[in-house]
A and B are shown apart, each in its own frame.
Chain A
Amino acid sequence: MDNSIDKLKGQWKAAGSGSQPTKDTVEDIIKQSQHKMKKAINMHVGNIAILSLTLIGLSLFFYYLAPLQDALSHVGITLMLGGLLVRILIEIVSIAKSKKIDMSSSIEKTNRQYLGFHRYRKNIHGSITLGILFVYSVGYYLLMPEFANYFSRIMLIVLIFSYIPVFMIFGFFIRKSIRDEMKCLDELIDERSKIQE
Chain B
Amino acid sequence: MTLRLRRWAPGLLLLSPSLVVLGIFVYGLIGYTVNLSLQDRHNALPAEGYAGLSNYTNLFTEPTGRFQHNLWNLAVFTVVFVGGTLVLGLLWAFLLDRRARAEGLFRTVYLFPMAVSFVASGVVWRWLMNSGQGDNAGGLNAIFGDLHLGFLENPWWTAPRWGMAAMALPAIWQLSGYIMALFIAGFRGIPGELREAAVVDGATTWQLYRSVLFPQLTPTVLSALIITGHMSMKMFDLIMSVSGPQWITEVPSVYVWQTLLTYDYAKAAAIAVFLLVVVAVVIVPYLVHVNRVEKRS
A binds B: no
